[in-house]
Structure 1
Amino acid sequence: MKAALKVWSGRLLEALLTLWLLATLCFVLLRAAPGGPFDAEKAAPPEVQAALAQQYRLDRPLLAQYGAWLGDVARGDLGPSFQYPDYTVNQLVAQALPVSALNGGLALLLALLLGIPLGVLAALRAGRTLDRALMFVAGLGLAVPKFVVAPLLVLLFAVTLHWLPAGGWGEWRNLVLPVVALALPNVAYCARLTRASLLETLSAEYLRAARARGLSETRLLFAHALRPALLPVAAWLSPALINVVTGSAVVEQVFGIPGMGRYFVQGALNRDYTLVLGVVLVVGAAIVAINVLVDALRGWMDPRLRAATA
């Protein structure tokens, strides 16, 4: 019990330190970039400029701004938005986070539901025509970036075939193209990873011995090979999440989805410091939490990992 408490305390401290370093680096880079949040207000009188700077604490020294912002964050206040003056960053994040979480979660689920069976099928047909065809398609899926995939999907399914809407939000049909655009590269990577891991597992000595004892290939696959073969896939979930998060900025812009990625892009373009910092912090915290869950999942799948952290 004490060992487990020590491990989790260490993880919590590491997570807080990571988020602090991430927020500090983002704060410094934003302030170092040329331009400011109210450059579009150049025609305003000097007293208006001064009032805006005082309202958003931009008239203080940089270190004082950082300390005040950090104190607000510690209290759970991400501050006011410069670009959306009628909303706080907390309100914008509360609106956008469920949208991005739904898109990203469905994209990862689709990647697993398609990638794992395709990888298993390719491994069972290793070296044959089906295996080569699947891996060729998977290679194409990895090679084509999301900013190309998303417009192509719009052109095919929305403009040409008129099957699905080209953008917007509010009904299930709006989800299909963004989720597919986010999922396609992950489907390809998951299939390739599953294939390679399963081929290695199937050649293990203990499976050869089980095969020699007369166990059927189906039982070997589902009872003995699949679970250890999926350990690399479980470890891949963390970078897959990061891939989905980074790709969501492009996909949400293309499809006009009011998610975290779109707010991040708009905030960066308009020097909305608090909005960008709020999105970075929330996304960073989500990634840290997902990493913890993935570690727990890997420990459940492989008892050796539990023993190593006990």
Structure 2
Amino acid sequence: MRGSPADPIRSVLAWVARRAGSAALVVLIVATVVFFALRASGDPLEAIMGGPGSQAGPEAVAAAREAYGLDDPLLVQYATQLWRVATFQLGDSYARHQPVAQMIGGQLPGTLQLAALALLLAWMLALVGSTIAATARGRIGRAAVSALRGLELVATVMPQFWLGAVLILVFAASLRVLPATSSGSDPAGLVLPVVTLAIPIAGFLAQLSRDALGEADAAPFAVTARSRGASEPRVLLTHTLRHASLPALSLSGWAFGHLLSGAVVVESLFARPGLGRLLLDAALTRDVPVVIGAVVVVSVLYIVVVTVVDAVELLIDPRLRTVRAAPERAPELAVGS
């Protein structure tokens, strides 16, 4: 019996509602953990008064506590901070006395550019490595595949801070072909930070796509295509590569979130302005509104990217559309497929 035309719409709306509820829960947990962790690390009044060397008198300290609500009970301060997050009123920075939204808005584009370019480069490197592994033949091909596997393993465990330092030593200090710092506007200054972020992710994506490519290459649809006279490049580009990209694509959202977190290290190492560097400076000074605002923005970006990746997966593999829209029917679909 066929369902009514409203069933797919209802299922999609239910999926969207579940995603929105999950996003709200993630933001709540993140804001809660950050708030209490920063408060446990010390009194944020130090940031308000200008740092540990401040000579503010008792009257100025009392006035600052009242102005910023620090004389309220801790749970009241927590509830106030949650309300600001829920209403997108992030308040002012304790240390810089500027609107948090304005500060984040000024630094966010640079970090998004860095993460997007790094993810693009990681995917390019992963696909090139997987394609070489899938098409390699003979003794030389097997040796190349073994070398690629070793490089992938090394790349996945390579610390970004160490990798960035080595790249600076080689290309900036020794060869002097690339700058060691990135101002954010010079394209040459983007090269080393992007490579530093991309290589570990590329190794991980290459391992996933290479294994999936091997499975897809032996699947019935690939064997059938060859029996009909399709050449190996056509089978690769038309059939196996599309199916093999799904496992790695499903983790691209995680990869983007990892790149955003890695930006904290990379932006500090290359003296590059961005959200990661802003977050690190705010955490060191216990600037609670800035840290919470930056972390919440990163969390929302991560959720948005994961949702977009899910949508791209649906475009690549139409079989997932019914399962994602109506997960309760997944066992039925599996039996009937």
TM-score tier by shorter-chain length is: over 0.9
CA distance in 1: counterparts of 2:11 and 2:157, whole angstroms: 44
Residue aligning to 1:273 = 288
How many angstroms does 1:28 deviate by? 1.7
- Of 106, 130, 136, 1:125 maps to 136
- Of 218, 230, 236, 2:233 maps to 218
- Of 137, 140, 151, 2:151 maps to 137
The unaligned stretches of length 5 or more in structure 1 are none
Letter in 1 for 2:171: F
How many angstroms does 1:35 deviate by? 4.6
* Per-residue deviation, residues 25-45 of structure 1 (Å, max 9, x unmatched): 221222122353416155321
Letter in 1 for 2:155: G
The unaligned stretches of length 5 or more in structure 2 are 1-8, 326-337
CA distance in 2: counterparts of 1:9 and 1:190, whole angstroms: 30
Residue aligning to 1:254 = 269
Residue aligning to 1:56 = 68
Correspondence list, 1:1-310, <5 A: 1-38=9-46, 40-41=52-53, 43-85=55-97, 87-125=98-136, 128-169=142-183, 170-310=185-325
Indicate the percent of aligned positions where both proteins have the same amino acid: 37
Letter in 2 for 1:120: T
Letter in 2 for 1:106: L
How many angstroms does 1:116 deviate by? 0.8
How many angstroms does 1:293 deviate by? 0.5
CA distance in 1: counterparts of 2:148 and 2:222, whole angstroms: 25
Segment drifting more, 96-105 vs 141-150 = 141-150
How many angstroms does 1:179 deviate by? 0.7
SS across alignment from 2:242: helix
Segment drifting more, 294-303 vs 135-144 = 135-144
Structure 2 length normalisation: TM-score?
0.87
* Per-residue deviation, residues 152-174 of structure 1 (Å, max 9, x unmatched): 11111111111111113121111
CA distance in 2: counterparts of 1:164 and 1:109, whole angstroms: 20
How many angstroms does 1:214 deviate by? 2.8
Q: CA 1:41–1:71 in structure 2 vs 1: closer, same or farther (change >3 Å)?
A: farther
Q: Is 1:96–1:259's contact at 8 Å kept on the other side of the alignment?
A: yes
SS across alignment from 2:27: helix
* Per-residue deviation, residues 241-289 of structure 1 (Å, max 9, x unmatched): 1220121110000111111111111111111111110111000000010
Q: Is 1:111–1:183's contact at 8 Å kept on the other side of the alignment?
A: yes
Structure 1 length normalisation: TM-score?
0.95
Letter in 1 for 2:57: P
Residue aligning to 2:4 = none
Segment drifting more, 203-212 vs 132-141 = 203-212
SS across alignment from 2:121: helix
* Per-residue deviation, residues 52-71 of structure 1 (Å, max 9, x unmatched): 22222111111111222222
Letter in 2 for 1:201: A
Q: CA 1:74–1:143 in structure 2 vs 1: closer, same or farther (change >3 Å)?
A: closer
Letter in 1 for 2:222: L
Q: Is 2:110–2:274's contact at 8 Å kept on the other side of the alignment?
A: yes
Q: Is 1:181–1:251's contact at 8 Å kept on the other side of the alignment?
A: yes
CA distance in 1: counterparts of 2:192 and 2:228, whole angstroms: 48
Segment drifting more, 22-31 vs 242-251 = 22-31
- How many residues are matched? 309
Segment drifting more, 189-198 vs 204-213 = 204-213
